[in-house]
Structure 1
């Protein structure tokens, strides 16, 4: 049997999205979410769940996220899992890089398809590339700068995209906190989500906590409220005098994006005064890094960073190993910490510092995200530890 049909059995699809690395490498894929282009640092995240929380984490500002888990978006998106508090601010991640195309959502909590949700938030997505190869490249060469671009017609000025990727200066020396911090002071009383009940409210607080917002996540605030805290959230550049004038029982230093040394230009002088005041203080992520700077340590850029929900950390105060959620590309250099600071946690992946505590003040911090959004929940005890510090301070 013969045929004159010469058309291919598997017609080629025209690429509608590109990832252009700073070294000129061009990866072709298929676009989703918002059309346009965005420049940032490419990292990879190893979490299997929680993509909506990850994409709305303000700590990801300035970054393009490669998901190592291939099936992202299958449970859709909703309005309850968003972590960004300041909805008027620039979204957390600038781009999302996926292996497989997104299927129709199959979860009772879904309110829309992830594609539509990305478009509404202005996040550019790309699917159909070998994310394993991209992850291997990052592990070998470090996190590259890149441009992600999506055009439904598949028309791109590749030379211009290469120049843009090569010209972007990168995150070192970049203060991104002004992009994500709140515009004004506000109060928070919402507690964590419960099955069949939704979110609750804290109406009988035991403590008043002032939270400095460097890009804070909703679930951090919920867990503080769960521990009996009335939370007042203040902007990143609020003075120590204004914070202490509120007579807080405790002060919380939030997560956030960018180079801690750059943010520290205005944050460290404030933190030194807060430490001197003796008010119990708890820091997470960027808050941890800037606390390290405030006590005299230094921070450094990491080769590939820590991004995922499966990072083992040793808690030296208990001798236990906890599995943690991480998102950071900078770390505190433990060799620079002064004698009055002890390391309380370290990564079992690379021995990098993951926690500190002052020996002479009720002050401590951790590098990872104990609010577990997305999970796991091994580290919720740290919020209880903070509450106990405040309780002891009030009794003194």
Structure 2
């Protein structure tokens, strides 16, 4: 069965169709990691996007539920050069997983040429459809995607002595697990939680999670999030990093084709150390007119974009990359340790005040 991938710039690509028999539209993006397809497909930050994998062969080790970042595939569609269809030691195949989840998958696509188009023209809308069917009408672009992936209610997990409030914009399971593995009690709050409800849980600190879409779509919440961050030690990851930056007066902008992969070099502005990071984002905090209250903590080696911030007076830090490293290199677990140090320092200050 053949399929077509039609881009909004008028170009199209063909391939074999292996997933759900439905047309889908979404922003087309590419991921450069050699592994990690299970985590990528189920990462809520990719919600509604069509993902192109740059590595030629995907599905080599099947799908295991232990590696999933949420309960379902979050991407709208999957595009690969080749999908492994041999024997697996455990789990199910990538093609079967896509079919069970109702997600179309195209393979046999010239992904090198496709990714070159995206690099030259930027991310754009695309439609995946079966060959021979008329191209469906283009739908309006959706940029406010967080309501589709946030928690529906407040939930507490773990029983550690340090109580972290996880503000959910579409958090990855591995971020929650990173906190639990470090002995934390975690309460997950929908992004629309009231301040009164948040304060009633007796939390020690906040983690603003990753999530999909344009951070500016949440601009109306900026005063609330600033109030929270001014009263609780706070860590922002990916979208959470962008939202905290907006809350304190910074601006965000969209990159031409984003950063998505497990090999993005970032430089610690304080130590000068360069390390590899796992990333998935379209938007960045602008370098120009950065508020004086914020300092640059990390910077991208390739394009010099901001990869992390800290507040000069408050116990607030943010990172654009994913320190939980799922998938990707585990070189930034120190981010959690630094965050915990901020919390303990703030506790000492509060006790001596």
TM-score normalised to structure 1 length? 0.85
Residue 99 of structure 1 corresponds to 81
Task: Select 2:25's aligned residue among 39, 64, 67.
Answer: 39
Aligned-residue CA RMSD (Å): 1.5
**Whole-angstrom CA distance in 2 between matches of 1:182 and 1:312:** 32
Once structures 1 and 2 are overlaid, which stretch shifts more, 96-105 or 283-292? 96-105
- Match in the other structure for 2:161: 206
Give the structure 1 partner of residue 156 of structure 2: 187
Contact 2:45/2:213, CA 8 A, preserved across alignment? yes
Give the structure with higher Rg (CA): 1
Distance 1:248 1:370 in 2: 22
Q: Which residue of 2 aligns with 1:138?
A: 118
1:23 deviates by 2.4
Choose the corresponding residue for 1:248, options 195, 198, 203.
203
Please report how far the alpha carbon of residue 269 of structure 1 lies from its aligned counterpart in structure 2 after TM superposition: 2.0
TM-score normalised by structure 2 residue count: 0.95
Pick one of 218, 224, 243 that aligns with 2:173: 218
Q: Distance in 1 between matches of 2:67 and 2:156?
A: 20
* Conserved 8 A contact 1:240-1:271: no
User: Would you say how many aligned residue pairs link Structure 1 and Structure 2?
Assistant: 349
Does the CA-based 8 Å contact 2:31-2:53 persist in structure 1? yes
Q: Which whole-Å CA distance do the structure 2 matches of 1:306 and 1:176 have between them?
A: 19
Are positions 1:50 and 2:36 aligned together?
Answer: yes
Report the alpha carbon displacement of residue 105 of structure 1 after superposing the two structures with TM. Answer: 4.5
Once residues 366 and 241 of structure 1 are traced to their aligned partners in structure 2, the CA distance between those partners, rounded to angstroms, is 27
Q: Does the 8 Å contact 1:177/1:256 carry over to 2?
A: yes
Q: Is contact 1:295–1:337 with CA below 8 Å preserved after alignment?
A: no
Map 1:268-279; keep pairs closer than 5 Å.
Answer: 268-277=222-231, 279=232
Name the CA distance, whole Å, in 2 between partners of 1:242 and 1:56: 29
Moved more, 361-370 or 26-35: 26-35
Any residues of structure 2 matched to 1:159-170 within 5 Å, and which? 161=136, 163-164=137-138, 168-170=139-141
Deviations 1:291-332 (A, max 9, x none): 110000111011010000000000112221110000000111
- Map of 1:332-347 to 2, 5 A cutoff? 332-347=285-300
2-structure distance, mates of 1:288, 1:223: 17
3-state DSSP of counterpart to 2:67: coil
- Contact kept, 8 Å, 2:206 with 2:229, in 1: the verdict is no
CA contact 1:60–1:92 (8 Å) conserved in 2: yes
Hey, what's the Cα distance between the residues in 1 that align with 2:189 and 2:229?
A: 17
Q: Secondary structure at the match of 1:33?
A: coil
In the alignment, which residue of structure 2 is the partner of 1:305? 258
Structure 2 residue 193 is the aligned partner of structure 1 residue 238:
yes
- Decide which of 341, 349, 353 is 1:388's aligned counterpart: 341
CA contact (8 A) 1:59 1:258 kept: yes
After TM superposition, give the deviation of residue 155 of structure 1 in Å: 3.6
CA drift of 1:274 comes to 0.8
Give, in angstroms, the shift of residue 104 of structure 1.
2.1
Partner of 2:331, secondary structure, is coil
Q: Given the alignment, which residue of 292, 311, 328 partners 2:281?
A: 328
Aligned-partner Cα distance in 2 for 1:251–1:245: 14
1:124 counterpart residue number: 104
SS in 2 for 1:223: helix
Does the residue aligned with 1:36 lie in a helix, a strand or coil? coil
- The list of structure 1 runs, each at least 4 consecutive aligned residues, that deviate by more than 6 angstroms after superposition, is none
Structure 1: gaps of 5 or more residues: 1-14, 190-202
The 3-state SS of whatever aligns with 1:258 is: coil
Q: Is the 8 A contact 1:227 1:384 kept in 2?
A: no
Look up the match of 1:194.
Answer: none
Cα displacement (A) at 1:242: 1.9
Matching residue within 17, 39, 42 for 2:3: 17
